[in-house]
């Protein structure tokens, strides 16, 4: 797929597949003096049918970063407006399953200090650490916390075979924001990913990696509630781990397919599970998520509005919702079971 630039701005041949790289909708732009992809319009081209978009409902890039092509002026901005012009709104699918509880996801910003959690004014500097697994591997990891944290969080990244690592956008946004809110965090590269020993194990050995991260945090802060969070592949892996120190699970855009959802050990566990499912998730939408977890205990599904699996246009919203969910779970009881 190509993006057309006005002639005086073309500095070299550039064949960009922006949908696979940035998750944006590409359209020829010929009416501007300079190449321009802005947030103030749909720019789909004259009478362009929706079928031209290959059926995808949402292809949003990371908010706030301009598209840079060669030596062009950096005047390109990401497209974040949906074709249907829907406004962002708060949605909750509700709770289901046996002994389910509700943790409402609010569209309001919450306390003033948490209105921009995706871009906190004061970030907690990370520390490079090494995690040792029980099967003898060393994993590359980072930790971050304030002097007196009140909760703990282990962050699990998306699929390694599709470029996932601990710096993936959703994981990075949470790691940059939660420690400043007194939630001590550890993020790490699964086995076989850059800097970590071993080989990819399709969600099996990766569960051992999660346990290593949990053990590290519990050793530092033995009496604090701990939440295991994961995005995509990392969410599925997190839901398979039932370490006794876990207070709750938060699964962000879980495919519920990396491993059989019926075999995920957190399902029948009485501890709370919150699934944040994008409204237009390409791999497991809210209806599918509800169906696949219908027999789970204490599980609630929260719909992240106007977003797809990559959540690029909803990072701030997601960080606030996750922060509120961690606080809610931490207030429910003692650490672990």
Is residue 44 pLDDT above 70, yes or no? no
Q: Is-contact 34 4, C-beta < 8 A?
A: no
Average pLDDT, stretch 188-202? 97
Average pLDDT, stretch 237-262? 93
Q: Is-contact 6 32, C-beta < 8 A?
A: yes
Q: What pLDDT does 10 receive?
A: 38
Indicate the pLDDT class of residue 68, thresholds 50, 70 and 90: very low
Average pLDDT, stretch 170-193? 97
Q: Is-contact 74 58, C-beta < 8 A?
A: no
Average pLDDT, stretch 304-329? 95
Average pLDDT, stretch 210-237? 97
Q: What pLDDT does 166 receive?
A: 98
Can you list the domains of the chain with their CATH numbers?
Answer: 1-83 (no CATH), 94-330 (3.40.50.1820)
Q: Which own/partner pairs from 65-71 qualify as long-range (CB within 8 Å, at least 24 positions apart)?
A: 67/18, 67/22, 67/24, 67/37, 69/5, 69/11, 69/14, 69/16, 69/35, 70/11, 70/12, 70/14, 71/11
Q: What pLDDT does 71 receive?
A: 34
Please state, rounded to an integer, the average pLDDT across all residues of the chain: 74
Is residue 309 pLDDT above 50, yes or no? yes
Half-sphere exposure (Cβ direction) of 334: Cα atoms closer than 13 Å: 4
Q: What pLDDT does 229 receive?
A: 98
Q: What pLDDT does 81 receive?
A: 34
Give the DSSP per-residue string, 33-70.
SS----SS-----TT--GGGGTT-S-----TTPPB--T
Is residue 233 pLDDT above 50, yes or no? yes
Cβ neighbour number for residue 88 with a 10 Å cutoff: 14
CA angle 82, 85, 86 (to 5 degrees): 95
pTM attached to this predicted model: 0.68
Cβ neighbour number for residue 241 with a 10 Å cutoff: 23
**Which comes out higher in pLDDT, residue 15 or 144?**
144
Indicate the pLDDT class of residue 238, thresholds 50, 70 and 90: very high
Q: What's the pLDDT tens digit per position in 145-161?
A: 999 999 999 999 999 99
Q: What pLDDT does 262 receive?
A: 73
Q: What's the pLDDT tens digit per position in 112-168?
A: 334 456 555 567 889 999 999 999 999 999 999 999 999 999 999 999 999 999 999
Q: Is-contact 266 97, C-beta < 8 A?
A: no
DSSP class of residue 264 equals: -
Strand partners, 187: 142, 155
**Which comes out higher in pLDDT, residue 180 or 82?**
180
Indicate the pLDDT class of residue 261, thresholds 50, 70 and 90: confident
Q: What is the enclosing helix (H) or strand (E) of 115?
A: none
Nearest-angstrom CA–CA distance, 257 and 106 = 28
Is residue 101 pLDDT above 50, yes or no? no
Indicate the pLDDT class of residue 7, thresholds 50, 70 and 90: very low
Which of 204, 218, 207, 206 has the alpha carbon at shortest distance from 246? 218
Instruction: Return the residue matching tokens 């971050």.
Output: 144
Q: What pLDDT does 259 receive?
A: 79
Which of 209, 107, 117, 92 has the alpha carbon at shortest distance from 155? 209
Q: What pLDDT does 333 receive?
A: 59
**Which comes out higher in pLDDT, residue 241 or 333?**
241
Maximum mean pLDDT: which of 38-42, 93-97, 253-257? 253-257
């Amino acid at each position: 797929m190509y993006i057309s630039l006005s002639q005086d701005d073309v500095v070299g041949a550039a064949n960009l597949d922006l949908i696979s790289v940035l998750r944006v909708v590409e359209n020829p732009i010929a009416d501007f003096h300079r190449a321009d992809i802005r947030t103030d319009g749909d720019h789909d081209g004259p009478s362009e049918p929706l079928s031209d978009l290959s059926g995808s409902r949402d292809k949003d890039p990371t908010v706030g970063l301009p598209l840079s092509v060669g030596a062009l002026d950096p005047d390109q901005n990401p497209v974040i407006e949906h074709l249907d012009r829907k406004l962002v709104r708060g949605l909750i699918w509700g709770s289901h399953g046996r002994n389910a509880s509700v943790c409402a996801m609010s569209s309001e910003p919450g306390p003033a200090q948490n209105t921009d959690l995706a871009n906190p004014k004061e970030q907690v500097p990370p520390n490079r650490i090494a995690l040792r697994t029980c099967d003898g591997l060393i994993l590359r990891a980072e930790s971050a916390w304030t002097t007196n944290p009140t909760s703990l969080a282990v962050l699990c990244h998306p699929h390694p075979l599709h470029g996932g690592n601990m710096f993936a956008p959703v994981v990075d946004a949470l790691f940059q924001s939660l420690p400043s809110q007194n939630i001590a965090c550890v993020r790490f590269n699964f086995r076989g990913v850059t800097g970590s020993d071993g080989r990819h194990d399709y969600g099996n050995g990766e569960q051992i990696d999660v346990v290593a991260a949990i053990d590290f945090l519990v050793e530092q802060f033995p009496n604090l509630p701990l939440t295991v969070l994961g995005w995509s592949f990392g969410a599925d892996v997190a839901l398979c781990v039932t370490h006794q120190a876990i207070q709750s699970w938060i699964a962000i855009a879980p495919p519920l397919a990396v491993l059989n959802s019926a075999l995920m050990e957190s399902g029948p566990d009485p501890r709370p599970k919150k699934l944040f499912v994008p409204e237009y998730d390409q791999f497991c939408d809210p209806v599918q998520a509800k169906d696949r977890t219908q027999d789970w205990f204490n599980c609630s599904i929260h719909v992240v509005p106007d977003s797809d699996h990559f959540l690029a246009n909803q990072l701030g919203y997601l960080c606030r919702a996750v922060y509120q969910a961690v606080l809610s779970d931490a207030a429910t009881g003692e650490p672990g079971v």
